[in-house]
């Protein structure tokens, strides 16, 4: 019993690291992704193609590699005079990676809105800002809820990748126990992920029902 309580305490402590990465990544990547999506839809072609190229690179390379780049490249190119703390490096990599994915979800949602709705807003004398916030935004939110929910649930699981740069998250704690001959904490750690993902699934189902006012 004491062993179970000790393992649970250690895994909870590790899962706190996962939750911290998850929360900070969401808070920063959601607005950053919107800004990036505006760049990818910009009428200024150099900005548009630069944004699309950066998004392509980020989406086309593994998150694990991006963690290595952010953490190990700065000290290599600066001869050891500069390096990000481990957690900061993890957050930078996660925010950039998920902002790229979110930007494509935003872009798809915005471009799915019929052009006639923009034209109708212009006929009514609305500015571009008014059209976006009063006509387009709520419809976009409805369209992107499901794909955003999928990405956010994926983020929960991806936080375990932070262990590659020695962030003491839950799976790293579980592996430490396995080195001591205790294998079951590795499987027990899945309970934490399943519970968190289950809560998020229920939350997004509730949000989708609340947004069911729009059938487009």
The DSSP secondary structure of 5-67, one letter per residue, reads: HHHHHHHHHHHHHHHHHHHHHHHHHHHHHHHHHHHHT-SSHHHHHHHHHHHHHHHHS-HHHHH
53/103 Cα distance (integer angstroms): 13
pTM: 0.91
Token pair 């179970």 in the structure block, residue: 4
Residue 128, H or E segment: helix 128-131
Query: What's the total number of domains in the chain?
Result: 1
Do the domain assignments include residue 64?
Answer: yes
Q: Give yes or no for residue 180 having a pLDDT over 80.
A: yes
Contacts of residue 202, defined as CB under 8 A and 6 or more positions apart, other chains included, come to none
Give the mean pLDDT of 181-209. 93
**Residue 128 included in any domain:** yes
Bigger pLDDT: 208 vs 94: 94
Can you tell me the mean pLDDT for 34-41?
94
Asked if residue 216 lies in contact with residue 139, where contact means CB atoms within 8 angstroms, the answer is yes
Measured distance CA(155)–CA(140) in Å, rounded: 21
**216 lies in a domain?**
no
Q: Is 215 domain-assigned?
A: no
- Give the pLDDT band (50/70/90) at residue 2: low
Q: What is the pLDDT of residues 117-133, one digit of tens each?
A: 777 778 888 887 788 77
Q: CATH no. for residue 21? A: 1.10.3720.10
Kindly tell me if the per-residue pLDDT of 1 is higher than 70: no
- Does the pLDDT of residue 213 top 70, yes or no? no
* Better pLDDT: 213 or 36: 36
What residue numbers bound the domain in which 62 lies? 2-210
């Amino acid at each position: 019993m004491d062993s179970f309580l000790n393992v649970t305490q250690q895994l909870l402590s590790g899962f706190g690291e996962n939750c911290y990465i998850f929360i900070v990544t969401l808070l920063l990547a959601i607005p950053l992704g919107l800004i990036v999506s505006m760049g990818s839809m910009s009428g200024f072609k150099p900005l548009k193609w630069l944004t699309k190229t950066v998004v392509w690179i980020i989406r086309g390379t593994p998150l694990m590699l991006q963690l290595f780049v952010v953490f190990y490249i700065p000290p290599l190119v600066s001869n050891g005079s500069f390096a990000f703390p481990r957690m900061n490096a993890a957050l930078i990599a996660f925010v950039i990676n998920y902002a790229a994915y979110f930007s494509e979800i935003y872009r798809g949602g915005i471009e799915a809105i019929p052009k006639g709705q923009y034209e109708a807003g212009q006929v009514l004398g609305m500015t571009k800002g008014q059209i976006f916030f009063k006509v387009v935004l709520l419809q976009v939110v409805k369209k992107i809820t499901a794909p955003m929910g999928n990405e956010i649930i994926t983020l929960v699981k991806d936080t375990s990748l932070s262990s590659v740069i020695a962030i003491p998250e839950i799976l790293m704690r579980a592996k430490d126990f396995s080195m001591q001959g205790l294998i079951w904490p590795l499987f027990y750690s899945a309970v934490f992920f399943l519970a968190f993902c289950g809560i998020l699934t229920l939350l997004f189902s509730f949000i989708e029902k609340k947004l069911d006012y729009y059938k487009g």
